[in-house]
A and B are shown apart, each in its own frame.
Chain A
Amino acid sequence: MSPEEPIVHIVDDDPRVREAIGELLSAHGIRSSSHASAREYLAAPRSDAPACLILDVSLPDINGLDLQNQLTGPGQPPIVFITGHGDIPSSVRAIKGGAVDFLTKPFSDAALLSAVEAAIAQDCEMRAQQAEIGVLQERYDQLTPRERQVLPLVVSGLLNKQAAAELRISEIMLQVHRRNVMQKMRADSLADLVRMAERLAIPVTHSRRPGRS
């Protein structure tokens, strides 16, 4: 994964607007690609670079807000809406839908650029997180089924003895498994392992209750 230059996708049915935004971004050294409709954007090949989507609300094929609804999920770039006549319901909807900003035409360069930068930063952050989870997932995939059983018990904070009893194995064996888990997950400490488990959304199945006899 070589870090690529960020890219801004511009979707607006007006060629003049696309052109102008592209020019402005270019003047600020940001590369861009422009699309006349939602369909054109969806059909275009996507690079792996951090990205941002400048989306016009009124598009010829589908409404930009509806497109926003479709573009949910990981890997989708953050959206900066632009509109010819902004109304409150649309902007509220856009922001609620996770848009970075909602700009009414004509907009200032500062507003657009800051929105774009914020969006790209957000995308980078998201990507980094995704990448980390990917690495962790890869490590987790190396675990044996038994080790996968051990992991939640350990991160739940059970004592070795308790975890061993839970799995009906000897404490020694549990310690071996636990060591393997730590090694394979490359966890420096139990706290590290707990954090990783959190990232991987491994549920904490047990909680150690002090009062339990």
Chain B
Amino acid sequence: MTMSTALTDGAVHDAISAAKLVENLLGLAWASDPDGECTYVTPGQGESMLSALRELGIAQASPAVQRTIHPADLPKAVAAWRSSLAAGSHFDVECRISQAEGCYTRVRCSAQPSYDDEGKITGWYGTFIRGPGSAQSPDKEEAGGARDLQELVDTVPALIWCTTPDGTPSYINKRLADTVGVSLGDLIGSSNSKSFADIHMEDVPMVERALTHSFETGTSFVATYRQLRSDGSYRWTEGRAEPLRDDKGVITQWYGVCVDVHDRVIAQEALQEQERHLRRLVDAMPSLTWCLSPDGQPSYYSKQLARWLGLSVEELDGRGVSRLQLAETLLVHPEDGRAAHEALAQCVRTGEPFNRRYRVRRHDGQFRWMDVRAQALRDERGQIVQWYGVLIDIEDLMRAQEGLRHRERELSQLIDMVPSHIWRLSAVGEPMFFNKRMVDFLGWNVEDREEGSGLLSLLKAIHPEDVKAFETSLGQSIENGDSFAMRYRLRRADGEYRWMSGRAEPVRDDRGHVVQWFGLCHDIDDQMRLYTEVADREAKIRRLVDSDIIGIVIWDLDGTLIDANDAFLSMIQYDRADVANGLNWLNITPPEWQQVHALEEAEELAATGKMEAREKEYFRKDGSRVPVLIGAACFEGDSRQGLAYILDLTERKRAEAALRDRERELSQLVDMVPIPLWRLGSRGEPIFFNKRMADFIGHDPNNSPSSDGLNFVELVAARTHPEDVELVTEAFHNALLTGEPLSVSYRLKGPAGAYRWVLSNSEPLRDHSGQIVGWYGFSHDVDDQLRVEEALRERERFLWQVVETLPAMIDCAAPDGEPIYRSQQLREFLGYELGALDETGRSRLAGTLDAGVHPDDLAGVREDYAHSLSTGEPYARRHRLRRHDGEYRWVETRAAPMRDLSGAIIQWNVICLDIDREVKAQEELRLAQERLAQATQAASLAELSASIAHEINQPLAAVVTNSHACQRWLKMHPPNLERAQRTVDRIVRDANAAADVIRRIRGLFRKSDEPRSLLSFEEIVSDTRRVLADLARSARVDVSLSLSGDIGHLLFDGVQTQQILLNLMRNAVEAMDGQSAERRLAVKATRSGEVAHVEVSDTGPGIINPENIFDAFFTTKRTGMGMGLAISRSMVESLGGKIWFRNNDDRGATFAFTLPIGSEANA
């Protein structure tokens, strides 16, 4: 639109230039003939436009054709075009035109008619102009959008322009035109390039260079230049341009903008001027100033600094490393470089001020200590813009400090090396310094001292007993300003407290105020210890002297009491004043002792310098006597004076008297005791008999002194029963010889003349060295007791013999089952003594069981034992026990607990019977039973009958059926002889098979004939009873036999007879099973002539349905086969007998059978 406006409004005088313009227009130009037929389109990329124009001309496009114009816009566009063509009016329509891949571009299509001189339309000239941002908003429908944009572009307070890709201006917005006062045409210079008419002459070359560069390379254009204004002035303007590229990246247009930056440029220039000024100022300043960029790189050294360093910032460039690195390498002392670098890096990171001392190399190569500081300068947003810093030469200062530190170190060493503890306190007493020796002594490390108050730490190290005094004393000193001196114990690092002598003196200032305290303390522990020891010893002695345990006096031989302790004084009831007044030694000594003293004591003292302790007496003040023990000694080197100790013996004397009294009492007691007591000398001589003894024996050594030489043994022997004399004599002699206590029972003739049993016991009395000094003894009349015992023992022996000789093995066990006694029988059976088990390490019980019980029975035996032991129930079990010869024999062991009155088990009595023979017999019986049962099975019951029936019925059934079939074949018309013959063959075959079966069965029966043997009928019956014994017992049936005994040894088939009996008896037992009434089974056998008559009767319910009782398969029992009676009958009958039954009159049934005697019934 603007282009078309420019086209129509602008001068089109020059056809050539017009053509060029058209060619370079932003967009596409086209021309058509008056009928709308396209005659020209701008060359290049016009394919879509061309087809769009064609579509405009075509009235009705085929729907199948791929359209260029968006289908929604097509009718509108076509209609508008037609209307314009018809009216010759301006054509202007906006439509979407398909670009690549269905992407539509919004395009404005405009055209103007061109008229000839006569006013006839000669053709149409039009343009396609791509709408702004059209590619991104293809769906934007509003036609007004572009106009709005145009207005926007025109009114935006920026100067906007466009050029073709090669730089020819193609558009300027209205503002640009107004501001600069030029039209687009003015800007298009000769040869279509941009004229720089609007740019200050001075800036033209620069702008031209930049523009050309941008157009050539396609990079953005930025330039600041002075631009002409419509009022003729020039203002600083910033021009920018960006290329617009199509899909393929080809530049289609340049869009530019000019921004008035005049004021800014002017301000900047002013600023620059100011900066230059300041810099000069800074450079002139005599301080060493420097700047760092925000990242810490040196950006500026002041002239002074540069001169001082002999290096400018620029000289740090271009060595392949950053300025900072180089500066650090070149300028900073190697020892400080690293620390300085890190500190700076830290500051740069955090923005904190930088302040550090390090050595920097001066231009002359000398390193000097510098105080280097830098501070960040921030803009209004807080961003660091620059670091400003100064360097201050502190070399001299550092030197001075260094010297000072050195001196301080030396002093410190001195103090630390002094072999004493030195410390310093502040005026208020807070420790400020401890020398190393003290610190080491206390075992502090630096941390300890920094923590809390030093004084507190020190107090902690002082012995708890001293700390209070120390605190008080030090506090007072500090308060008053007096010197402090004290001894106290201080804890060494190893925990030991050592005595210290501590002193502190105040240091005062000019005005006499205490400024601080210097203290010294040294280890006086060893002296203190020595002192303490002496003091201790002294105190001990002192305590001894002062205690009232013993009296002590210091005497002079002339009798003067130089000193005496309280104990002594209280002993003699004098007081100290009396001593002071010259209490004389001799005054208190009774006259009889004066003599002794003069004669013995003085002499002894003079001779030996001491006097052995002796007892004597002193007068008390009141004249009473006090018994004392006294010992004395002269002082060393002095025979006149000395020390004496005196013990008050009053108590001892009193005790002695008490003892004497007691002795008398005891003596009486002994005499009164109703037992003869005696005491003998070491050799057995009588020393003391109590009265009873004396009476008993008729001798009293108390009255007749031992010198008469009578021996106690002889004395006793004389009255001892002649049978016991030897025993007694030997016992006494043995005791006297060996010193072992004596205990002997014997008969002694009493005063009444009768012998009575006495028990004499005697024990030796030994002195401290173990030497026997005498014998004490007593004789006890045990006559009655012994008699009872004797009777008991007799009984026990009897019982013992009973047990030992009893033909059973007897075992007694503790409540826990441990055997404690075994009878001889059992011991002999087992072949070892009970004690032998103790060596195995197991319990006796376990040992016995393991060693004796058959391994197969062991588990059961153990279980039963355990059960009985835990419950107290009697134990009974049969098992195999190993005899001493290794043979396992069946035993029956029974055990029952013996209980005390309270019911607690005190013992288990076990009896063990060797039942091997019985068990073996039973075993044989059982085997016989089994054999019998096997025989029974073969010959009886369901199997036999069933198998016989089956064996015979099968072929019989076949025979019968075949016969029927044969009949059938024969009856046919005509008869089927072939089949009939076949069936007859089969009949013969099967009938023979049946006959075979019968033969086999007969063979079976014949076998049972063979074991016939001569057995007495009685034997058979009792054998059968034995077989049934278990069943009868478990069914609690009472079995009675009644045999006439005259049946005798007759020929029977024993097995079959037994089988018959067994069947009948078993039936009887089973018939009574479960009934509560009396269960009786009676077997009665009699002989009548040549026939044995047997009856088996029971007390069961009797026979209720007697009809089929002997039939096979008839049974009244749940589990029965119904064969027993059937077989019995068949057997009886086969033996030539008869069988029948009857119900008894009272209850039950009786089965009876007869057997001919000596018959060969079933031959």
Interface residues of A (CB under 8 A from B): 14, 16-17, 19-21, 23-24, 26-28, 58, 82, 84-85, 87, 105-109, 112
* Contact present for B993 and A28 (CB under 8 Å): no
B264 is an interface residue with CB less than 8 A from chain A: no
B153 adjacent to chain A (CB < 8 Å): no
Contact pattern, B 186-230, Cβ under 8 Å of A = 1, otherwise 0: 000000000000000000000000000000000000000000000
Are B946 and A105 neighbours in the complex by a CB distance under 8 Å? no
Closest B residue to A25 using CB positions: B965
**Cβ distance B1120 to chain A, nearest Cβ, rounded Å:** 13
What is the minimal beta-carbon distance from B952 to any residue of chain A, in angstroms? Answer: 9
B547 CB, nearest partner CB in chain A, Å: 118
Assess whether A112 is in contact with B961, with CB atoms less than 8 Å apart: yes
Contact of B962 among A14, A24, A84 (CB under 8 A): A24
| Contact present for A84 and B965 (CB under 8 Å) | no
B932 close to chain A: CB less than 8 A: no
Whether A14 and B958, one on each chain, are in contact in the complex, defined by CB atoms closer than 8 angstroms, is yes
Contact A105 B964 (CB under 8 A): no
**What are 6 sample pairs from A and B whose C-beta atoms fall under 8 A apart?**
A19-B958, A20-B986, A21-B961, A23-B986, A28-B968, A85-B949
Check B954–A24 contact: CB distance below 8 A: no
Q: Is the CB of A84 within 8 A of B954?
A: yes
Could you tell me if B993 and A23 are in contact, using CB atoms closer than 8 angstroms?
A: no
Name the 8 nearest CB pairs between A and B, nearest first. A109-B964, A105-B957, A27-B968, A106-B960, A20-B961, A16-B958, A106-B957, A24-B965
Asked whether A107 and B960 contact (CB < 8 A) given A19-B986, A26-B965, the answer is yes
In the complex the two chains form, is A105's CB within 8 Å of B954's CB?
yes
Which residue of chain A lies nearest to B993 when distances are taken between CB atoms in the complex?
A16
Chain B residues within 8 Å of A28, by CB: 968
Q: Does B953 make an interface contact (CB < 8 A)?
A: yes
Q: Is the CB of B954 within 8 A of A27?
A: no
- Besides the known contacts A20-B961, A107-B960, A109-B961, 12 further A-B residue pairs in the complex with CB atoms under 8 A apart: A16-B958, A16-B989, A17-B954, A17-B957, A19-B958, A19-B962, A23-B979, A24-B968, A27-B964, A84-B957, A107-B957, A109-B968
B1024 at interface, CB cutoff 8 A: no
Bound form: Cα–Cα A87–B1122 in Å: 11
B residues less than 8 Å from A84 (CB atoms): 949-950, 953-954, 957
Chain A: minimal CB distance from B554 (Å): 133
A26 to B983, CA, bound (A): 12
CA–CA, A9 to B944, complex, Å? 31
B891 close to A (CB within 8 Å): no
Least CB distance from A34 to B in Å reads 13
Q: B956 at interface (Cβ–Cβ under 8 A)? A: yes
A16 vs B967: C-alpha distance when bound (angstroms): 18
Name the one of B954, B955, B962, B1113 contacting A23, with C-beta atoms under 8 angstroms. Answer: B962
Query: Which residues of chain B come closer than 8 Å to A87, judged between CB atoms?
Result: 1113
B954–A14 CB distance below 8 A: yes
Tell me the bound Cα distance from A210 to B964 in angstroms. Answer: 65
Q: Could you tell me if A24 and B964 are in contact, using CB atoms closer than 8 angstroms? A: yes
What residues on B are CB-neighbors of A105 within 8 Å? 953-954, 956-957
Q: Which residues of A contact B972 (CB under 8 A)?
A: 27
Residue on B with the closest CB to A28?
B968
Contact residues of B between 352 and 381, Cβ < 8 Å to A: none
- Roughly how many angstroms separate A140 CA and B161 CA in the complex, as a whole number? 93
Interface centre among B950, B968, B976, B986 (most CB of A within 10 A): B968
Which A-chain residue is minimally distant from B983 (CB atoms)? A23
Chain B residues within 8 Å of A23, by CB: 961-962, 965, 979, 982-983, 986
Report the Cα distance A91→B990, complex, angstroms. Answer: 26
* CA distance in complex: A27, B971 (Å): 10
* In the complex, B25 has a CB within 8 A of chain A: no
Partner of B950, one of A24, A26, A58: A58
Q: Complex Cα distance A23/B964, Å?
A: 9
In Å, the complex CA distance between A27 and B961 comes to: 11
Q: What is the chain A residue whose CB lies nearest that of B960?
A: A106
Q: How far is the CA of A106 from the CA of B979 in the complex (A)?
A: 21
B422 near A: Cβ within 8 Å? Answer: no
Question: Considering the chains assembled together, what is the distance between the CA atoms of A84 and B956 in angstroms?
Answer: 10
Q: What's the nearest-Cβ distance from chain A to residue B973, in Å? A: 13
> Pick the contact of B958 from A17, A27, A58, A108 — CB < 8 Å?
A17
Query: Residues of B with Cβ closer than 8 Å to A?
Result: 945-946, 949-950, 953-962, 964-965, 967-969, 972, 976, 979, 982-983, 986, 989-990, 993, 1113
Which residues of chain B are near A108, meaning CB under 8 Å?
960, 964
| Chain B residue contacts of A58, Cβ below 8 A | 950
Residue among A20, A24, A107 with the most chain B CB within 10 A?
A20
Minimum CB–CB distance for A27 against chain B, Å: 4
* A24–B961 CB distance below 8 A: yes
- Asked whether, in the complex, the Cβ of B953 is within 8 Å of the Cβ of A85, the reply is yes
In the assembled complex, which residues on chain A have CB atoms less than 8 Å from the CB atom of B990? Answer: 16, 20
Q: Which residues of A contact B964 (CB under 8 A)?
A: 24, 27, 108-109
Q: State the CA gap A82–B982 with chains docked (Å).
A: 24
Minimum CB–CB distance from A57 to chain B (whole Å) comes to 10
Nearest-CB distance from A108 to chain B (Å)? Answer: 7
* A28 to B966 alpha-carbon distance, docked (Å): 11
Residues in B whose Cβ lies below 8 Å from that of A16 = 954-955, 958, 986, 989-990, 993
CA distance A16 to B997 in the complex (A): 15
- Measured between alpha carbons, how far is A106 from B968 in the docked complex, in Å? 17
A20–B957 touching, CB < 8 Å: yes
Which of B954, B957, B960, B965 neighbours the largest number of chain A CB atoms within 10 Å of its CB? B957
Contacts of B946 in A (CB 8 A): 85
CA–CA, A159 and B979, complex, Å: 68
A94 CB to closest chain B CB (Å) equals 17
| B953 x A20 contact (CB < 8 A) | no
Given known A27-B979, A85-B946, A87-B1113, contact A20–B965 (CB-CB < 8 A): yes
Q: Taking CB as reference atom, which chain B residue is nearest A85?
A: B949
Instruction: Decide: A20 and B968 in contact? CB cutoff 8 A.
Output: no
A63 vs chain B, min Cβ distance (A): 14
| Least CB separation from A21: chain B residue | B961
Instruction: Report how far A16 CA is from B965 CA in the complex, Å.
Output: 13
Chain B residues within an 8 Å CB radius of A106: 953, 956-957, 959-961
A105 to B964, CA, bound (A): 14
How far does the alpha carbon of A105 sit from the alpha carbon of B959 in the complex, in Å? 10
CA of A20 to CA of B982, assembled, Å: 11
User: Closest approach, in angstroms, between the C-beta of A53 and any C-beta of chain B?
Assistant: 17
In the assembled complex, the CB of B1057 is this many whole angstroms from the nearest CB of chain A, namely 28
CB distance from A110 to the nearest CB of B (A): 8
Give the distance to chain A from B259, nearest Cβ to Cβ, in Å: 86
**Smallest Cβ distance from A180 to chain B, in angstroms?**
55
CB distance from B1009 to the nearest CB of A (A): 27
Q: Which residues of A contact B954 (CB under 8 A)?
A: 14, 16-17, 84, 105
Most buried by A among B956, B962, B964, B993: B964
Cα separation A92 to B958 with both chains bound (whole Å)? 25
* Complex Cα–Cα for A107 and B953 (A): 10
Complex CA distance for A105 and B584, rounded to whole angstroms: 156
Shortest beta-carbon distance from B807 to chain A in Å: 59
Inside 8 A of A112's CB, which chain B residues have their CB?
961
**B961 neighbours in A (Cβ, 8 Å):** 17, 20-21, 23-24, 106-107, 109, 112
B965 A27 Cβ-Cβ under 8 A: yes
A82 to B979, CA, bound (A): 24
Query: Is B953 within 8 A of A109, CB to CB?
Result: no
A143 CB to nearest B CB, Å: 53
Inside 8 A of B945's CB, which chain A residues have their CB? 85
Give chain A residues whose Cβ lies under 8 Å from the Cβ of B967.
109
A9 to chain B, nearest CB (A): 16
Measured CB to CB, the nearest residue on chain B to A13 is: B954
- A20 touching B962 by the CB < 8 A rule? yes
Distance A108 CA – B959 CA, assembled complex (angstroms)? 11
Taken together as a complex, chains A and B put the C-alpha atoms of A87 and B949 apart, in Å, by 12
List residues of chain B with CB within 8 A of the CB of A14: 954, 958
Question: How far is it, in angstroms, between the C-alpha of A106 and the C-alpha of B950 when the chains are bound?
Answer: 11
How far, in whole Å, are A28 and B972 apart by their CA atoms in the complex? 10
Residues of A within 8 A of B953 (CB): 84-85, 105-106
Given the complex of chains A and B, what is the CA–CA distance between A17 and B946 in angstroms? 18
In the assembled complex, the Cα of A109 lies from the Cα of B967 at a distance in Å of 10
